[in-house]
Chain A
Amino acid sequence: MQDARLYSLSAIFQTPDEIAHAAEQTVERGYTAFDVHSPYPLHGMPRAMGLKASKLGYVTLVFGLSGAALALFFMWWVNVIEYPLVIGGKPLFQLPAFIPVTFEVTVLMAAIFTVVGMLFVIFRFPNTSHQLHDTPYMKAVSSDKYGLTIQALDPLFDEERVREFLQDLGAVEIHRIQFDAEEIEARPRIFEPRFVTLLILVALLVGPSTYIILNHVLYMPPFDWMMEQQKINPQMKSELFADGFGMRSPVEGTVARGHLPYPFKGQPDLAGKFLVNPILPTESVLELGKKKYDTFCSPCHGNFGDGDSRLRGQFPNPPTLHSDKSRGWSDGMIFHVVTEGQNIMPSYASQIKERDRWAVVHYVRALLRAKHATEADLR
């Protein structure tokens, strides 16, 4: 029981030569779980302790090379595969331009992994609770003394004989290093209340602050993401105009280029007389007409102009287009009605472009004709 609590016997030596000699002796005696401590690296000590050469270099090599490969591949992938862009008229893969970055990444990875490998893998650092810490032994060796430690778990370890051995080597002091008592009583507590409250506090702190920063602070001047620009896009509000409409209507009585006003306002008969369909009923025109008719006309007039509203009488149903009256109408007349509307039917001038309106007229004609096909048509 008592022995189990012993970690090691550690001896202090005065001079580098003594410690070097001691190390060699220890190896001869066949101790394996031993270590030499000195405030600075002692040359020749690894040999004296019979250590093999450090393998650290291989770590460096592997990670350095993989860094180079990674960087080069990454840049190739970005510029050639992921988002090819012509930059300065150069080819997509520009090896010379990629060399600097490749080099830097190589060095970075090599350096980081060498040190990480050494400290955290080989040394298993951080370890601030090693038995040797805070012992007079450690204080001595970290300043100006040289120390030799033989661990209790060494198969050859026998406290008395080790003590003698060390004294023979000329140790000035010998310390018994033991595991400390408190550690044995220590119970595992993964959720200490302090830790839990900390978590909660962090959450409470991080949440709101992130929200405020992301959604408010970052939109205060001087931050400018060009999301809101000093211009009026279509369908935007504008403070400039009293009614707030960013989009304005043209002044009454003005004429825009290519938009001569409809000449037969309120004169259906004139329209019927003078207006002639300027386009020919080609297939594409009829297609266009059908598209527009189905979109704008069919909701009321029905798909085939029978006046069977798809809106099922939410509005008064319009008369069928196949009445003799409407069949008698000239193209111009139909165009006029589409343009100006009549009775309860509104004007479709702003929804359907002029040319499209004429196409619709053609399509309606086709509908009428389909319904009242003559022998000639069938042939």
Chain B
Amino acid sequence: MSFVDYSVEPPVVEGKPPLSSIDDAIIKPIDAKPTKAWFVAIAVSGTMLLIGAASLAVTFIFGVGMWGVNQPVGWGFDIVNFVFWVGIGHAGTLISAILFLLRQRWRTGIARFAEAMTIFAVMCAGLFPLIHTGRPWLDGYLMPYPNQHGLWINFTSPLVWDVFAVSTYFTVSAIFWYVGLIPDFATLRDRTVSRIKKIVYSILSLGWRHSNRHWQHYEMAYLILAGFATPLVLSVHTIVSFDFAVSIIPGWHTTIFPPYFVAGAVFSGFAMVQNMLIGIRKIYAIEHIITIDHLEKMNKIMITTGMMVGYAYGMEFFIAWYSGNSAETFVFFNRALGPYAWAYWTMVICNVVFPQLFWFKKIRRSIPAMFVIGVLVNVGMWFERFVIVVTSLSRDYLPSSWGFYVPSIYDIGILIGSFGLFFTLLLLFVKSMPVVSISEVKGVVEGAQPSHGGSH
């Protein structure tokens, strides 16, 4: 498609497929036997997961000393991955909630999948705070209950905020996602002929009857959830950024972090969603439901957020210089010129330079190009967290206590493992649940609504 007319909103679902055909298109892959490609994929991701599990076991038995962390760099891959995955998660909520509120109808095709990604990403993220502790079997201490001496948790600690933020975020996203799934489960229930599936779907659908008396409340609930998810998603990454912003370490102690982190999160999240969708729509042959326009729109969001991030990078340096605080200034020069300069420049090139290509429509709409850029963006965003966490710690106030951080194989193993977990869950998801919201898509097919029923 060389020419696209942006003056008219393109149809969300291309053509005017009969509603039942939408069922077929979306549900076929669930009923059908898994393809060879799927088995290969699950084998790969499963292996990655096992690598992670092994590294994790070693860490659990011998201690976090198996990692590269040290004095002064007390946090390494663990927290880098945590922030990275939380960021990935944010795109899902953004698409399903914020775009919903903004009445972006094109979101319907990708919302369900994005939400699933959110949940799996948050699972991966939530793992790291739990395993990064020195005595993981005491993680329960982070819950708000008193120990045998009546000592409670410290509500002023950003880590406690994290606990609340991430668990809330996970719960709300899960609810949101499930509520969206209920009608689809009902549809599945009424389609399937296998007894087992019938039982399962019936339980999952809670006995949904497509009653319009229910639909009314249902839509209201969906709206409310979306309304809550929006500030929530912003708050979560704000709080994650507080882990650093609230501290006093130069390079961490920065007021720009909250917006900067949120932008970064959306940035990387969209890159990830875009990558995944490119695969899904091809495999499922649902290009008419997840259209090239959707992808293009996502690329536009990526270039926007990418520039926000770039602005933040610049601003950090400006403030460092403007503050006149020598320690502050030093840290940022150290980032660009110090021992970790390579990481810094990887970050800048991947996050700021490459997304600029999206100015060109051709590239915006070219599947391979956008895929590559998406991957680069994720690499860049991972390194952004690495730069923030590691370089700031490795050289802080006292030159006498400067150090250097080198990841161990277990660090890398666990990183791989987290991707393994993510992809495995994703693959299981696409095999067992509708990757596109059936009821929503039906709702936006042309002529699906009563002519006098007013439209949005």
Q: List 8 A-B contacts (CB under 8 A).
A: A16-B447, A23-B212, A37-B209, A41-B215, A41-B443, A46-B212, A114-B224, A127-B207
Task: Kindly state the separation between the CA atoms of A54 and B221 in the bound complex, as whole angstroms.
Answer: 9
Task: Kindly state the separation between the CA atoms of A125 and B452 in the bound complex, as whole angstroms.
Answer: 32
Query: Within 8 Å of chain B (Cβ to Cβ): is A378?
Result: no
Q: Are B156 and A143 in contact (CB under 8 A)?
A: no
Q: Are B232 and A107 in contact (CB under 8 A)?
A: yes
Task: Render A86-110 as a binary contact track against B, CB cut-off 8 A, 1 for contact.
Answer: 0110100010011011011101101
Q: Are B239 and A100 in contact (CB under 8 A)?
A: yes
Query: Within 8 Å of chain B (Cβ to Cβ): is A42?
Result: yes
Nearest Cβ on chain A to B97's Cβ, whole angstroms: 11
User: Which of B164, B208, B454 makes the CB contact (< 8 A) with A44?
Assistant: B454
Q: A40-B440, A87-B154 are in contact. Are A114 and B225 (CB under 8 A)?
A: yes
Query: Within 8 Å of chain A (Cβ to Cβ): is B256?
Result: no
Query: Within 8 Å of chain A (Cβ to Cβ): is B155?
Result: yes
Nearest Cβ on chain B to A317's Cβ, whole angstroms: 51
Q: CB-nearest residue of chain B relative to A115? A: B175
Nearest Cβ on chain A to B202's Cβ, whole angstroms: 5
Q: How many residues of A contact B (CB 8 A)?
A: 73
Task: Kindly state the separation between the CA atoms of A222 and B175 in the bound complex, as whole angstroms.
Answer: 36
Task: Render B427-456 as a binary contact track against A, CB cut-off 8 A, 1 for contact.
Answer: 000000000001110110001111111111
> Hey, which chain A residues are within 8 Å of B137, CB to CB?
218, 223
**Besides the contacts A35-B211, A142-B191, what 20 more A-B pairs have beta carbons closer than 8 Å?**
A17-B450, A39-B19, A39-B187, A40-B442, A51-B213, A60-B224, A82-B146, A87-B156, A90-B156, A97-B156, A110-B228, A111-B171, A115-B221, A118-B221, A125-B206, A133-B202, A138-B190, A142-B186, A147-B210, A218-B137
Task: Render A306-328 as a binary contact track against B, CB cut-off 8 A, 1 for contact.
Answer: 00000000000000000000000
Stretch from B59-67, B72-80, B99-107, B383-391 forming part of the interface with A? B59-67
Near B by CB (< 8 A), chain A positions 1-51 give 16-17, 19-20, 23, 35-46, 49, 51
Query: Within 8 Å of chain B (Cβ to Cβ): is A373?
Result: no
Q: Are A222 and B62 in contact (CB under 8 A)?
A: yes
Near A by CB (< 8 A), chain B positions 128-174 give 135, 137, 144, 146, 150-152, 154-156, 160-161, 164-165, 167-168, 171-172
Query: Within 8 Å of chain B (Cβ to Cβ): is A139?
Result: yes
Query: Within 8 Å of chain A (Cβ to Cβ): is B216?
Result: yes
Q: Are A142 and B190 in contact (CB under 8 A)?
A: yes
Query: Within 8 Å of chain A (Cβ to Cβ): is B366?
Result: no
Nearest Cβ on chain B to A179's Cβ, whole angstroms: 16
> Hey, which chain B residues are within 8 Å of A111, CB to CB?
171-172, 175-176, 225, 228
User: Which of B19, B231, B440 makes the CB contact (< 8 A) with A143?
Assistant: B19
Nearest Cβ on chain A to B130's Cβ, whole angstroms: 15
User: Which of A103, A123, A141 makes the CB contact (< 8 A) with B214?
Assistant: A123
Task: Kindly state the separation between the CA atoms of A149 and B46 in the bound complex, as whole angstroms.
Answer: 48
> Hey, which chain A residues are within 8 Å of B18, CB to CB?
144
Near B by CB (< 8 A), chain A positions 173-221 give 218, 221
Query: Within 8 Å of chain A (Cβ to Cβ): is B203?
Result: yes
Query: Within 8 Å of chain A (Cβ to Cβ): is B23?
Result: yes
Query: Within 8 Å of chain B (Cβ to Cβ): is A126?
Result: yes
Task: Kindly state the separation between the CA atoms of A154 and B224 in the bound complex, as whole angstroms.
Answer: 33
Task: Kindly state the separation between the CA atoms of A44 and B215 in the bound complex, as whole angstroms.
Answer: 11
A: which residues have CB within 8 A of B? 16-17, 19-20, 23, 35-46, 49, 51, 54, 56-57, 60, 74-75, 78-79, 82-83, 85, 87-88, 90, 94, 97-98, 100-101, 103-105, 107-108, 110-112, 114-115, 118-119, 122-123, 125-130, 132-134, 138-139, 141-144, 147, 218, 221-224
> Hey, which chain B residues are within 8 Å of A40, CB to CB?
183, 215, 439-440, 442-443, 448
Q: Are A126 and B224 in contact (CB under 8 A)?
A: no
User: Which of A35, A49, A98, A144 makes the CB contact (< 8 A) with B155?
Assistant: A98
Query: Within 8 Å of chain A (Cβ to Cβ): is B359?
Result: no
Q: CB-nearest residue of chain A relative to B137? A: A223
Query: Within 8 Å of chain A (Cβ to Cβ): is B36?
Result: no
> Hey, which chain B residues are within 8 Å of A119, CB to CB?
206
> Hey, which chain A residues are within 8 Å of B160, CB to CB?
101
> Hey, which chain B residues are within 8 Å of A222, CB to CB?
60-63
Query: Within 8 Å of chain A (Cβ to Cβ): is B14?
Result: no
Query: Within 8 Å of chain A (Cβ to Cβ): is B217?
Result: yes
Q: Are A78 and B453 in contact (CB under 8 A)?
A: no
Nearest Cβ on chain B to A173's Cβ, whole angstroms: 15
Task: Render B239-257 as a binary contact track against A, CB cut-off 8 A, 1 for contact.
Answer: 1001000000000000000
Nearest Cβ on chain B to A115's Cβ, whole angstroms: 5
Task: Kindly state the separation between the CA atoms of A42 and B219 in the bound complex, as whole angstroms.
Answer: 11
Task: Kindly state the separation between the CA atoms of A221 and B62 in the bound complex, as whole angstroms.
Answer: 9
Q: Are A123 and B217 in contact (CB under 8 A)?
A: yes
> Hey, which chain B residues are within 8 Å of A88, CB to CB?
156
Task: Kindly state the separation between the CA atoms of A97 and B159 in the bound complex, as whole angstroms.
Answer: 12
Task: Kindly state the separation between the CA atoms of A49 and B211 in the bound complex, as whole angstroms.
Answer: 12
> Hey, which chain B residues are within 8 Å of A90, CB to CB?
156
Task: Kindly state the separation between the CA atoms of A39 and B176 in the bound complex, as whole angstroms.
Answer: 19
Task: Kindly state the separation between the CA atoms of A20 and B452 in the bound complex, as whole angstroms.
Answer: 9
> Hey, which chain B residues are within 8 Å of A56, CB to CB?
217, 220-221, 224
Q: Are A94 and B209 in contact (CB under 8 A)?
A: no
Q: A36-B212, A100-B165, A222-B62 are in contact. Are A107 and B228 (CB under 8 A)?
A: yes
Q: Are A126 and B207 in contact (CB under 8 A)?
A: yes
> Hey, which chain A residues are within 8 Å of B214, CB to CB?
123
Q: Are B20 and A45 in contact (CB under 8 A)?
A: no
> Hey, which chain A residues are within 8 Å of B20, CB to CB?
143-144
Q: Are A41 and B212 in contact (CB under 8 A)?
A: yes
Nearest Cβ on chain A to B392's Cβ, whole angstroms: 20
Task: Kindly state the separation between the CA atoms of A51 and B176 in the bound complex, as whole angstroms.
Answer: 25
Q: Are B210 and A42 in contact (CB under 8 A)?
A: no
Q: Are A144 and B161 in contact (CB under 8 A)?
A: no
> Hey, which chain B residues are within 8 Å of A43, CB to CB?
449-450, 453-456
> Hey, which chain A residues are within 8 Å of B172, CB to CB?
107-108, 111
Nearest Cβ on chain B to A197's Cβ, whole angstroms: 22
> Hey, which chain B residues are within 8 Å of A23, CB to CB?
212
Nearest Cβ on chain B to A15's Cβ, whole angstroms: 8
Nearest Cβ on chain A to B233's Cβ, whole angstroms: 10
Nearest Cβ on chain B to A24's Cβ, whole angstroms: 10
Most chain B C-beta atoms within 10 Å of own C-beta, residue among A39, A79, A82: A39
Near A by CB (< 8 A), chain B positions 182-213 give 183, 186-187, 189-191, 202-203, 206-213
> Hey, which chain A residues are within 8 Å of B211, CB to CB?
35-37
> Hey, which chain B residues are within 8 Å of A74, CB to CB?
144
Nearest Cβ on chain A to B346's Cβ, whole angstroms: 32
> Hey, which chain B residues are within 8 Å of A139, CB to CB?
190-191
Q: A43-B449, A143-B190, A144-B23 are in contact. Are A114 and B221 (CB under 8 A)?
A: yes
The 7 A-B pairs with the shortest beta carbon distances in the complex, nearest first, are: A44-B453, A144-B19, A41-B215, A97-B156, A20-B450, A40-B443, A54-B220
Task: Render B218-230 as a binary contact track against A, CB cut-off 8 A, 1 for contact.
Answer: 1111001100100
Q: Are A104 and B212 in contact (CB under 8 A)?
A: no
Query: Within 8 Å of chain A (Cβ to Cβ): is B70?
Result: no
Most chain B C-beta atoms within 10 Å of own C-beta, residue among A20, A118, A138, A139: A118
Query: Within 8 Å of chain A (Cβ to Cβ): is B235?
Result: yes
Q: A20-B452, A111-B172 are in contact. Are A38 and B232 (CB under 8 A)?
A: no
